[in-house]
Amino acid sequence: MDIFGTIASAIDLATMIKGYIDDVKGGKEHRNRLRDGLTALQLLLPLLESRLQPALQGVNSVSPKKIEELQKIFTIYQEILNEIGKKLTKAEKKERKLLWPFDKDDIIDNIEKLEKLASWVQIAINVGFGEMIEQIHEDVHSVKGAMDTFMSQLRDIISSHQELRRGVKKANEDISYVKSSLDVHERQHLATWLSSLDFGQVLVDNLNAHTEGTGTTILTTPEMDGWIKGKSRSLWCRGDPGVGKTMIL
């Protein structure tokens, strides 16, 4: 399809969509804005067609390269109009009453694109096709620059988020360590509160205790003397508790 066929198809789609919009229910704000954009295209595109035919002829004719660029642009917008028309047709088949089938973000994006197309066409009609293409290049470059800035900001946000997550993880580890340390300290404090006596130290002190002369009375008994000389295989020790009988055995 040549550029004239593409423009004619866009005009037909705009007319068809406007017919659906008059019967649709809901989405009033965006519906009215879409209708205004389609009306502008209905008025401007036929004028563009009438200016385009002479522009292809003569010394100052539009170059084939520029015509090719225009063809690509109008093909894109033809697809946008076709997508809008398909959604309205699908909604009509499902419902007795034609309900607004568009999400807010999607329809706003498409409306803004159609409004941008209308502004480009108006430049072509009032100034020329060369100026229209220059404006298209400028707008596309501006959008690309804004997108690059957005992507850079998005990467910064992701990096900051990752650093925040690492910081939170480190903080949780520190909190767990402090909590563990507090648990040990609390147990020690509780044991001290229950009894100030250090049983471990008491045992060490008792083992290390020594009294000179302990057990000497046992060593001098006839039973001990007989056991040492081998006269008896058993040794019966008598004595008060704590005098050292176990240590001798």
* Torsional sign, CA 100, 93, 109, 39: negative
Residues 11, 114: Cα–Cα separation, whole Å = 12
Residues whose CB is less than 8 angstroms from the CB of residue 128 and which lie 6 or more positions away in sequence, other chains included? 55
Under 8 Å between Cβ of 88 and 101: yes
Question: 58 and 79 in one domain?
Answer: yes
pLDDT in single tens digits along all 249 residues of the chain: 688 888 899 899 988 888 888 777 777 788 888 888 888 888 888 888 888 877 777 656 777 788 888 888 888 888 888 888 888 877 666 655 667 778 887 788 888 888 888 888 888 888 877 788 888 877 776 554 544 554 555 556 556 656 767 777 777 776 676 566 656 666 666 666 666 666 677 667 766 766 666 667 767 777 777 888 887 777 776 666 666 555 554
Res 60: pLDDT: 61
* Residue 82, in any domain of the structure: yes
Under 8 Å between Cβ of 51 and 124: yes
Domain count, the chain: 3
* Residue 26, in any domain of the structure: yes
Question: 143 and 73 in one domain?
Answer: no
Question: 87 and 24 in one domain?
Answer: yes
Question: 70 and 92 in one domain?
Answer: yes
Res 147: pLDDT: 45
Domain limits for position 159: 135-197
Question: 113 and 34 in one domain?
Answer: yes
Question: 187 and 89 in one domain?
Answer: no
Question: 95 and 57 in one domain?
Answer: yes
Question: 228 and 160 in one domain?
Answer: no
What the block records as the tokens of 120 is 């480009």
Res 66: pLDDT: 80
Question: 54 and 152 in one domain?
Answer: no
In terms of Cβ atoms closer than 10 Å to its own Cβ (0-12, 13-18, 19+), residue 16 is middle
DSSP state for residue 24 in the 8-state scheme: -
Res 148: pLDDT: 53
CATH number, residue 49:
1.20.930
pTM above 0.85, yes or no: no
Question: 228 and 156 in one domain?
Answer: no
What is the residue-wise DSSP string for 126-194?
A: HT-HHHHHHHHHHHHHHHHHHHHHHHHHHHHHHHHHHHHHHHHHHHHHHHHHHHHHHHHHHHHHHHHHH
Question: 173 and 72 in one domain?
Answer: no
Question: 20 and 84 in one domain?
Answer: yes
Of 74, 100, 126, the last residue of a domain is 126
